[in-house]
Amino acid sequence: MKNDIQRMLNDIEMEVHLTRHLIGKNLLDGRVMAAMKKVPRHEFLPADLRYCAYDNGPAPIGLGQTISQPYIVALMSDLLATNPADIILEIGTGSGYQAAILSQLVQQVYSVEIIEDLAIAAHKRLNKLGYNNVEVRNGDGYFGWPEHAPYDGVIVTAAAPHIPPSLIDQLLTGARLIIPVGFPYSYQELMVVEKKANGEIETKKVLGVSFVPLTGELEAKISHNDHLNPRI
């Protein structure tokens, strides 16, 4: 197990080196790498896929969803630029792995999952493993979780064709939103969105990625627009 975890960490470091000209850094935050080492990724995969838990690639978790590639989980956690006292919102709980990583970096994580079965399973899994500073809610992540806003950061683990305004509204001034932007089965870009003191929004494209789509209200709006303006 230790060898598998170390292999994963080495793979992440190699990916960072290969993409350094895109992500603008040669190393990820040591706190992030420590969390990647500590959280048992195999616990967040189906039993029949645990043999590949520490491979540097995504894996299916059922219901059409995936657990992200370790490098991407680490990179997004790093880009969020967290502090130990932060309160973070995650959109797209999935199996709970990204939330578990964040739980090691911040005071509290609120996570929204639209698929009820995944939300229930992730809640049970995180509690069983002792990640008591993560709260999971079944709901539409397009609207965030306004009851606990504003947040010190927001991380989205599904691709949206545009940045949901509600997530910007729930950010503290100076805080970051990390989100993949683009359509399913086409080019997507991981973006860092920062809310400035003057009310302006600064965006930065980091690198190309491939995520499952953000669903719910956003998906319905896209489908409606496509019906009115069908693509050719």
HEC profile of the chain: CHHHHHHHHHHHHHHHHHCHHHHCCCCCCHHHHHHHHHCCHHHHCCHHHHHHCCCCCCEEEECCEEECCHHHHHHHHHHCCCCCCCEEEEECCCCCHHHHHHHCCCCEEEEEECCHHHHHHHHHHHHHCCCCCEEEEECCHHHCCHHHCCEEEEEECCEECCCCHHHHHCEEEEEEEEEEEECCCCCEEEEEEEECCCCCEEEEEEEEECCCECCCHHHHHHHHHHHHCCCC
- Give the C-alpha separation, 196 to 8, whole Å: 36
Per-residue pLDDT of the chain (232 residues; tens, 9 = 90+): 789 999 999 999 999 999 999 999 999 999 999 999 999 999 999 999 999 999 999 999 999 899 999 999 999 999 999 999 999 999 999 999 999 999 999 999 999 999 999 999 999 999 999 999 999 999 999 999 999 999 999 999 999 999 999 999 999 999 999 999 998 778 899 999 999 888 789 999 999 998 988 887 655 454 444 433 433 2
**One-letter amino acid for residue 153 of the chain:** G
Of these residues, 68, 77, 95, 111, which one is catalytic? 68
Give the CA count within 13 Å in the CB-facing half-sphere of 217: 10
- Domain CATH code at residue 152: 3.40.50.150
Catalytic site residue 68?
Answer: yes
Task: Give the pLDDT score at 141.
Answer: 94
Task: Give the pLDDT score at 137.
Answer: 96
Asked whether 42 and 100 are in contact (CB, 8 A), the reply is no
Q: What is the pTM of this model?
A: 0.91
Distance, CA of 61 to chain centre? 15
Number of domains into which the chain is organized: 1
Task: Give the pLDDT score at 43.
Answer: 97
- 98: domain range? 2-228
The β-bridge partners of 50 are none
